[in-house]
Structures are given as C-alpha cells and as structure tokens.
Structure 1
Amino acid sequence: MRCPLCHVLIAATLLCNVLLLYYTWHLNSRPAGRQSPSPTLSPGITVIVREFRTFEHGLADLNHSFLRARPNLRILIASEALPYPPVPGLNILRIHPSPEQPVSAFRLESQIHTRLVALVPDGTSLNPPDLLDKMARALRDAPSAVRIVAAGAGPVLQCLHLNVSLRTWTAEYTVVSAGETCGAVSGSAVLLMRSRDLFDLPFPLARPVQSTIFIQAALRGWGVKVLKEATFPRTPLPATDHGKWKAEQADRAEEAATMRALNIRLVRGLEGGDRWYGCSKETQRCFGTVVGETPEYLYEGRWTPPCCLRALRITLLHVVKVLEASNVRYWLEGGSLLGAARHKDLIPWDYDVDIGIYLEDITLCPELRGAQGGSLVDSDGFVWERAVEGDFFRVQYSQTNHLHVDLWPFYPRDGVMTRDSWTGHPQDIEFSESFLQPLQTLPFAGAVVQAPNNHVELLKLKFGDRAIEEPQYPNPALLKMNRR
C-alpha cells in the first residue's frame, strides 16, 4: 500500500540532514586564523588617563571636569593596579591580564569604540568644553603624514624633531626649524590620535606615555601637529613632597624599562642631558657571549649599544691611566688600532678593546702582577685577571659587567714582535718591532693614547690594503656588512 505522506516526511528528513551536514562542513572549513571583523569605530572621542600615580592623584576631579563638560564622554583609567584609596565611578582599564578575566578584557580594541582617542595626563581639566573638538578638527584637516595632535597641558609646548636610529639604539631630539613638521613635543601635553593608529602600536600605553608614543611614531614616519591656540588647565600631581619623590623614583624605573623594551639605550637632546639605559657597573652588559667574532646584535642589523661603547671607553681610559702610571709600554692593537685610524674612536660595532704591551713590563704594574695568580679588583671596581682563553690579560668594567679591555703581551725576537699564544684571528700575526720604535700617539675614544708608528702600513699588513677605506664586520664568512 502506498503512503504518500510517509514519502514526503522521509524526503523532508533527508533534506534537513543534508542541509545540516552542509552547514557543519561550511563552519569547519573556514580558515582557523580568520576572525570576525572588529566592530566599526563610531564617531567621538575616548579619553585615556595613563599618566597618574595610584598613591596620590586627582582622578576624581579629572573625571568630574571632563564629564561635566561632555556628559557622554567615555573615560578610561589605564592602570596595572586599582587607584588607592578607591575612587567610585571610574572606568578602569587593567593593563596586565588577570587570570579570572577573559583576554579580551585587556585589549584596547575591546574597550575603545570611538574613532579618536585622547591621552590625558592626571590633573588636567576640560575647560573650555570644546578643546577636544578643536583638536579633532585639527587632526581631520592635517596632512596625511600628521597622525597626532598635541595641545599643552599647563606649560607651553616646544616642537621637536625626533630621529630614532635602531642601528645605534639611539633617540635624538633637536629643535625644529620654522615650517618643519614636529616629531615630538617637550612639556606635558594632551595627545589626540586616531584609535586605529593607537591599536597599531606595540607599546600603546607604556610609561612614559608621551616619549613612548613619539618614538614609535617616529619609526613610522608620523608627524605631530601642535595646537598652539588650545591649552588645557592642569594642576601638576603628585602635589606633596613625599608623593613627588615616590613618583620620580617610579618614573625613572619605568622609563628605563620601557626604553630597554623599545631597544633604546641612549636618549639625547632632552632637558637634563644624555640619558643612558643599560651597561652600568651594577648590570650585565647588553649582549651575551660572542660566537665567531660576531655579536648577536649584528644579526639584528644593529651596532654595539652606545651604553656598552661608553663603558668600553671608560675601561680603556682607566687601563691607560694605570699603564702610564706604571711606565708600561703599550699600544693600540688589532681592531682598536683600526678604529683609531678610521673613526678616532672604537669601531661602532666592536665589543672589546685590544692593547698590546711588552711582556717584560708586566712586573712594573701592580695590577698586572696581582692578576697573574687569578684576579684583582682595583679601588675603582675594575677587575684585572688572566684570561682563561689564552696567555693574555683582561680588564673588566666590573665584577658584574664583563665588557673588557684585552692586554696582549708581546716580546721581541730577532727584531720581530711575537707572542707565546695566538687566537687564530687572521690579523693576529707577528710584526716588526720597528713599528714600536718609537711609539706615536693617536686620538682615540676621547683621549690621546699610544699607538704604533706608521700605523697605516701596519694595518695593511694585518687587515689588507683597503681595510681602512672599506669597513667590514669582524667575520665576513659569517656575516657581511650591508653597505646600503
């Protein structure tokens, strides 16, 4: 007996199963890395307050001032820890993940839904109410290269040019000439930028916010427009002497950590002189063991960190002072002599200093005599020791920081300077004692030091005819210099 209704039900069931299978296959076949697009940013401005101290702040007053002027404004207080004492009514954006929260809670994209974002320091007031709107219009009308608008928060801002050299680990500020685009500003400021640009930065809210933003902007070629006609009233915080002291301590520690994360070891051109980050006597050097004469930073397209070069210069000058006081005959050797001829300084990618000495003069120097049996720490904290790699001496910057000067003992044999042990480096060869009789002086590393006479000919003998004119990394077989 036929059952048309049964046939219809069976067909419908099969069709539903087919559709379900197709839908399941479609979901599973989507690429794993594909994510749903982020929500479209809406008009408006989100205010982020990052520059404040949890122990003494004016967040309640700032929050009240901005919301009184713009009731619909969203204000985020970005912090690793909650302000103390607690302030009711604040929207806290936690910087570091917390195990009980989803990872999305710590992403800026999940907290900021406006096209623009303003980075505002603590103590700032929004008066008059349209200051943020003026900044927004200035950003809208600015050339495409301008990605940040700055308005003073208290004192008048100074427009600066910022050159960031990753190769030399340096950020250098200079005063901008008339008509040039700013790359940074000095002075406390409110910064306005597009949210998508902030999202693009790997360190969007690292302290100190201004310099961190400007360094990342400089690497991307972004300009900064200073809105001279707009100034935000601001009360500097912390206000108490104890709070200022605590803030200064925290500022220095955070700045050092952030600059190291940004691979900046020297900041020049700001008030207070050069700022160094790394390679003190209390810290280890900025790179590890050197393999094949090729430090790890060369593979990253960088030269020796400037703080390390500074420590090497300090160690060299100390060693020269000790040797001269002891009447030890010494001279610049190897790559250090090459640096003196080419740069009147260390080679920018070198990692130690080489000095030759007469073997018979070792007994004249108390530090060298003390180092023969092990190691000696002198009154200035430098470590004199016999090197474990061979029959030579080494002077380290400190017991913790092993940046060093190597002292190579030579002696004459039939008019030729030789040694009892060699390193195997191509330039490590015997040479005529006539290059040392007499010694001459050369400018090197900020001082005048002893060097072989006719040093250009000696360098040709050691490194080749074009060594001065054609720089090369220490071991071209491992890594050649890109001369672009």
Structure 2
Amino acid sequence: MRITFCQGVLAVAIAVNLLILYYISRLQQRILHRHRDHVQPGSRQQLGLLKPGVTVLIREFEDFENYVPDVVRSFVRQKPELPVVVAADRLPYPPMVLPSAPNIQVVLLKPSPDQPALVFRPETYVRTEYVALVPDGVRADSTSQLERMVEELKDSQNQAQMVAAPVNSLAPLRCLNLKVSLKEWTAEYTAAPPASTLCGALRGELVLLLRTRDLFNLSVPLAKPSLTSLFVQTSLRGWAVRVLDVSFSALHRPLLTSSHNQWKADNLAKSHRTQLFQDFGIKRVILEDGKQQWFGCGKETPRCFGTIHDDTPEYLYQNRWTPPCCLKALRETAKYVINILEASGVRYWLEGGTLLGAARYQDLIPWDYDVDLGVYLEDIPNCELLRNAESGSVVDEKGFVWEKAIEGDFYRVQYSERNHLHVDLWPFYPKNGLMTKDTWMDHRQDIEFPEHFLKPLVPIQFAGFLALAPNDYRSFLELKFGEGVIENPEYPNPALKSMKKGN
C-alpha cells in the first residue's frame, strides 16, 4: 500500500502532537509529584518549631499568563537555599517550569480525595519564622531586601505586626485606615494622615512580610484577593502594617500582554472579591472616597435572610444586625409606599417597632426586618393599588408588589417579586374612642389604643425623610411596649436572644 505525501504529513503532525501532549503530561506529573513527595504524613513541622529565616510565598498570579518562574529565579539567584512556595488553587495550566530544587515547591490548595489533608495545607511547607507574600512580576535585587524587612519587623513588634515594601519606588503605597464591623456587615476604608507609616490597610503593589505563626493563625490566610483578605482579617485583630523605605523592582510592565487576558484577569478579580465578601459576611464596603459598594441582596435576588421564627431573625443568633442592603431596601420601600399613601389621601402613621426606631434613631432599628404602618381602614379605597390588591398581587411600574397578606386582614408591599423585604399596612378603625382592627398578631405591642393619639398626626424624622406619627409618640410607645422603651433597647424576643444578657 502506497502512502501519499499528504498522508505522510498528517502522520507526522499527529506524532508531533502526541509528543507534545506526552511532554506536557509528564511535566505536570513531575510538578505534582514534587509537590506531594516533599510532604509525608507525620513529617509536618508544627508552627511552634520554626527555624530562622524567610519563606517567599507567591499566591497572586494568573494561570493563563504569569512570570512566576522569573520571580522565583530572581529570588533564588540572590540566595539559592531560600525557601519558595507557589500556592495555587489547582495545578497551573499551562504548566510552570520552575527551577528544580527541594526548596522550591508548588502547593495545591484544592484537596484531592486520594491525598491526606496536610498535603493541601500551605503551612505544611513553610518552616521559617517569617513569610514574605510576593506578587507576580517582582524582582529581588539583593539579599538584603528581605533581611531588612525582618529587622524592621523585629524592631516594630510593639507597634506593627506586618511590614510592607512597595514594588517600584515610583508608585508609592496608599496608607489607609480600615474599620470592619461584622455586626453591621460593613468594611469602611478612610485615608490615613499623609505622614502615617502605620496603616490598617494598603493600596498598591507590595511585598508583605509577617510572622508565619501570625499568618497561619488567620481564619483563611490565603483567600483571594490576598491583600484585601489579609487586611480585613488583621483589622479585626487590631494589627497594623508599617510601610518601609525599601522597595522591590518590577520584572515586567504590563504583566498581561493582551487585552483579552486583561479582561479575564479583571473578571477573575471581581469574582474573587465578591466571593471573599460573601464568605466574610461583608455586604457593604465604603471606600476612602466615600463611594459605596454593595455585595448583598437587591431587587433581582432573594433577601439575605430566611423566614423569621419567634420574632428572632437568624442573623441575631450570629451576633449580627440586619444586613445594610436590607435596611437600604426597607428604607426605599417605606419611602415609596408613604409617598403613594400621601398622594392618595390615605391617612397613615408609623407603627410598632418602626415608630420606636424613628423615636430612638430617626431611622429603622438596626436589627429590624420589616416596616409597619397603620392606616385608616376607611381610606383604603382611596388608593388604587390597595384596591386592586384585594383581588390578587399587583406588580407596579417600579417593581414593588402590592398584595393582601395571607396571614390576615392587612396589606403587604414587597420590595420586588424576588426580594420579599416588605412594608406591612395595618387597617385600623375607631370603635368607642379606641382604634381597633380585625387581625391581631401575638405581639405585646399589638393592642388597641385611644384615637386621640392620631388627632392630629405629627411629622417625625425617619430614614432620611419626614413621615407621620402619633402625637405624644412617647406615651403611645410606652402604652404598647412599656415605660422607658425608647431609652432601653432590647431584641424582639429577649427570652431567645437578649441584648442585655448577651446570649
């Protein structure tokens, strides 16, 4: 059988491709075996048995384009025995060709079912007292840079738990203060004074050095984005970072050589940031310029908490208050509903805990989960949306849902079809001088009250606008909740979760 020229070319091409695939496969296996062979069960060094020195830890890089091998070579060129750990979520592809040496290791952070857990723990591989977090594209210019950082950290131990050196001295780091309130689901950055060298967080490219014991005592030491994650966790511990006058050079600028790769990197960074704040339970980030970023629920997503049991939402059991995105949605819904009621000639007033929040905070109670309004039953026909809600749910032009509540004779306005944060409207009517209604809930404050509290209604500051409230609202609230209720905050069901007892 004769082989044509085209068949021969095709056969050669197939053989070449097979060789390439074989080479890549062997290369990846060699990297993976090197990663596994350096750690055997029972040989792990404990954090209390660390030796002097620094381990370079490279975490921030992109699989699809990076200069990690060059970074590693630049550091081991200065000090051949320097320990270097490259931490990746999974085996990098395309494969990275790193110098072959026992002090250079790749750590995979995503567990594999056929391996022991310690293989995927980065602290298994870091056996020095200090660790330097080095981003992609950094060049070590001398052996003294890391040594200088260690000495500075030792000298600063009473003030700073970390030291930082900028990458490229022409791009100074921005020193920030960072306040994280898990109770309020919020991280707030503010600019530090110009002369500050002690910071709560930093912006810019940098090498960060800290004690190995400190790093691996953080909850998630290598979450991405690395610096955002670290500074959120360290700020909760009251740690500071000192900025040094030492700097590192950059190997390449830019790191990513195509607009497509830049687009991929930007999307990944956004995804990592969103996931990080979701994992940390941070739903609002206030930047140093005052702009706000939201990572919680919106009109197109469900609300941030589930069904309420025994008047105690799940976030109270987590020692948190209402997520700020939910408070924002409740304020928006309340203002919208009140504007429509006023335009329709429906008399309303702030009720229950909503009035209590207005009296105490001029806003919602920080742990509240809905808004309550009282309305005159006889005024309901004045509002077209309430009339139409009698026969079924109505989604208005702004996406709010008006409906008759299934729990009884009252109305509910939901933030959206997906997000069921809501305003409840309770229809009252006068009877023998008292305001009463047809549906009562098992709440202490859900009682009849004299109509004179509504004649007249008075304006009160609430959630950034003026709303109407019963006159002498202090007496009104004390009738419903008890004496001194404005000055003595308490959770809705103290028997289950008490603010005063801290349980």
Post-superposition shift, 1:131? 1.9
Q: Does 1:265 align with 2:265?
A: no
Letter in 1 for 2:291: G
Letter in 1 for 2:307: T
Letter in 1 for 2:120: F
Letter in 2 for 1:275: Q
Tell me the residue number matched to 2:94: 85
* 1:117 partner SS: strand
Q: Does 1:112 align with 2:126?
A: yes
Partners of 2:155 and 2:300 lie apart in 1 by: 50
Tell me the residue number matched to 1:472: 490
1:101-180 correspondence runs (5 A): 101-154=115-168, 155-177=171-193
Post-superposition shift, 1:348? 0.8
* Greater Cα shift, 330-339 or 449-458: 449-458
Partners of 2:136 and 2:215 lie apart in 1 by: 20
Of residues 272, 291, 307, the one that matches 2:309 is 291
Q: Does 1:69 align with 2:69?
A: no
* 2:106 partner SS: strand
Post-superposition shift, 1:343? 0.3
Q: Does 1:187 align with 2:204?
A: yes
Tell me the residue number matched to 2:439: 421
Post-superposition shift, 1:209? 0.8
Identical counterparts, % of pairs: 51
Post-superposition shift, 1:373? 2.2
Q: 1:78–1:95: 8 Å Cα contact kept in structure 2?
A: yes
Post-superposition shift, 1:286? 2.1
Gaps of 5+ in 1: 1-33
Post-superposition shift, 1:341? 0.6
Counterparts in 2 of 1:226 and 1:481: CA distance versus 1, 3 Å: same
Partners of 1:314 and 1:305 lie apart in 2 by: 15
* 2:244 partner SS: strand
* 1:441 partner SS: strand
* 2:138 partner SS: coil
Post-superposition shift, 1:305? 1.6
Counterparts in 2 of 1:381 and 1:67: CA distance versus 1, 3 Å: farther
Tell me the residue number matched to 1:393: 411
Tell me the residue number matched to 1:198: 215
Post-superposition shift, 1:65? 2.6
Q: 1:299–1:479: 8 Å Cα contact kept in structure 2?
A: yes
Per-residue CA distance 1:124-168 (angstroms, 9 max, x = gap): 222344322221111121133522111122421122222222222
Q: Does 1:226 align with 2:233?
A: no
Partners of 2:196 and 2:264 lie apart in 1 by: 40
Letter in 1 for 2:124: S
Gaps of 5+ in 2: 1-41, 100-104
Partners of 2:367 and 2:172 lie apart in 1 by: 40
Counterparts in 2 of 1:83 and 1:441: CA distance versus 1, 3 Å: same
The TM-score normalised by the length of structure 2 is 0.84
What value does the CA root-mean-square deviation take over the aligned residues?
2.3
Letter in 2 for 1:370: N
Of residues 375, 379, 384, the one that matches 1:366 is 384
Partners of 2:44 and 2:62 lie apart in 1 by: 37
* 1:405 partner SS: strand
Q: 2:140–2:248: 8 Å Cα contact kept in structure 1?
A: no
Partners of 1:455 and 1:272 lie apart in 2 by: 35
Tell me the residue number matched to 2:271: 253
Q: Does 1:97 align with 2:105?
A: no
Q: 2:371–2:424: 8 Å Cα contact kept in structure 1?
A: yes
Q: 1:345–1:444: 8 Å Cα contact kept in structure 2?
A: yes
Q: 1:123–1:236: 8 Å Cα contact kept in structure 2?
A: no
Counterparts in 2 of 1:472 and 1:118: CA distance versus 1, 3 Å: same
* 1:61 partner SS: helix
Of residues 368, 380, 383, the one that matches 1:350 is 368
Residue-pair matches, total: 451
Tell me the residue number matched to 1:55: 64
* 2:227 partner SS: helix
The TM-score normalised by the length of structure 1 is 0.87
Post-superposition shift, 1:417? 1.6
